[in-house]
Amino acid sequence: MDDDTTRQYLTFSLGGEHFALESLLVSEVLDVPAITWVPLAPDHLRGVINLRGNAATVVDLGRKLALGTPGATTATCIIIVEREYDGDLVPVAALADAVHEVVEIEDKDIAPPPDMGLAIPPEYVQGLARLGDGFVMVLNADRVFSLEELAAGRP
């Protein structure tokens, strides 16, 4: 990546931690609709939702990232992330405790994730960025939303 590049990130919270996803990957943020349970799905897949006539798989990021699953609140929402699978753009719905804002972060301000001390498995973190007085974990969307990991759970 070019160190002078500035990108926009959607920030959100999950299990008391702060995260960011590159906003180009996010198509929309929705209130949580009815979720249809899918039998025999991995624990971190909550089911599917109807997204304008198409099914979108719902990923419980709290479970996927080993943060647990707190109860839903009025701030709980769904982040629709578009991922490419076999040449097609497929919507994936990710549960988040709350969405905050879109922020700009320069590539040079994203430090590599530390080997230890993170609240989540480090393979899911692209890096850490300073945001205000704290840090935000920038998620590696290719890893968090990979088809193989969504189907099978943690490696």
* 11-20 tens-digit pLDDT: 999 988 999 9
The whole model's pTM is what?
A: 0.88
Q: How confident is the model at residue 150, as a pLDDT? A: 62
Domain boundaries, the chain: 6-152
Pick the CATH number of 6-152 from 1.10.760.10, 2.40.50.180, 3.40.50.2300, 3.40.430.10: 2.40.50.180
- Max mean pLDDT among 43-47, 67-71, 77-81 falls in 77-81
Strand order in the sheet with 125-131: 98-106, 6-14, 17-22, 134-139, 125-131, 110-111
Average pLDDT over residues 118-147: 91
Residue 1 has pLDDT above 80, yes or no: no
